[in-house]
Amino acid sequence: MNLNQQINQLDWQEICHSLQDKGYALVSNFLSDSQCQSLIKRYDNESEYRKTVDMKRYRFGFGEYKYWDYPLPDMVKNLREGLYPHLAPVANAWMQCLNLETRFPQHLPSLTSQCEANGQMKPTPLILKYPQTGFNTLHQDLYGEVYFPIQVAIVLSQKDEDYQGGEFVMTRQIPRAQSQAIVLTPDRGDMIIFTTNFKPEQGVRGYYRVNMKHGISEVLSGERYAMGIIFHDAAS
């Protein structure tokens, strides 16, 4: 089964329901162990990357991540282009619920063209490496005025074998209320699809915006690898 078949055979009705309800969806065993290992092995292929970021230097946390450059590796390209059409209808429904004018095209190349017109021409898919004591502060992956409100993370290492700790953490800020913390402990190959910055939620007077952030808790031992698929491009 190729990657596009893997994507198309997912239970998209359940994924979209979970995104609408909780702001995220967890898909178990999406990538195989061999697919995860092949991505980890690419980490030291410096020619594939356009930029390496030391998280500590920018006070983003402790660890390192690298942005792939165009042309993206086939697996990364196929993931990005294959997942996007399933998520665009959810994103458009969110915009409609919140009475926002933004609408997203059906296919990724059209979104990429919108990014280019706004000076956002750098690819944003990335691979992350957290050593012992590594972590990532709560944040939102916005790289310019053009952004897609849903993104993807795939864990490439196995918890309790390759590392301890390193939970995937999200916060959910409801207006005029305290933030709710959501903690996930995905296994190797699991995919998390989640909101980049906000989701709509229905109240007694209609829909309102719930802001969300995400990060990684401290890795207590070992090394944790993950990849991120962000659909909009960056200016730098």
Predicted pLDDT at 176 = 80
Answer whether residue 30 is part of any domain. yes
70 falls within a domain: yes
> Between 235 and 177, whose confidence is greater?
235
* 78 part of a folded domain: yes
pLDDT at 193: 99
Tens of pLDDT, residues 70-87: 999 999 999 999 999 999
**Burial (CB count <10 Å: 0-12, 13-18, 19+), residue 214:** buried
pLDDT of residue 7: 98
d(CA 216, CA 214): 7
- Computed over its alpha carbons, how large is the radius of gyration of the chain? 17
Per-residue confidence (pLDDT) for residue 112, from 0 to 100: 98
Which residue segment(s) compose the domain that 173 sits in? Answer: 3-229
144 inside domain = yes
Q: Judge whether 234 lies within some domain.
A: no
CATH number at residue 88: 2.60.120.620
pLDDT at 1: 79
Whether residue 71 has a cis bond before it, omega within 30° of 0: yes
- Identity at 23, one-letter amino acid code: G
Beta-bridge partner residues of 215: 169
Closest CA to 135 of 61, 214, 56: 61
Per-residue pLDDT of 87-140, as tens digits, reads 999 999 999 999 999 999 999 999 999 999 999 999 999 999 999 999 999 999
How does pLDDT run across 18-40, given as a tens digit for each residue? 999 999 999 999 999 999 999 99
Q: Does residue 236 lie in a domain region?
A: no
Q: What is the DSSP string of 117-152?
A: HTT--B---EEEEE-TT-EEEEE----SS---SEEE
State residue 175's pLDDT score. Answer: 81
Burial class (CB in 10 A: 0-12, 13-18, 19+), 134: buried
How many folded domains does the chain comprise? 1
Classify burial at 149, counting beta carbons within 10 Å of its beta carbon; exposed 0-12, middle 13-18, buried 19 or more: buried
Interval 147-182: pLDDT, tens: 999 999 999 999 999 999 999 999 999 888 889 999
Matching residue, tokens 């390193």: 166
Tens of pLDDT, residues 52-72 = 999 999 999 999 999 999 999
Report phi then psi at 162, rounded to 5: -90, -25
- Confirm if 180 and 172 have CB atoms less than 8 A apart: yes
Determine the pLDDT at residue 36. 98
What's the confidence (pLDDT) of residue 178?
87
Residue 234 pLDDT > 90:
yes
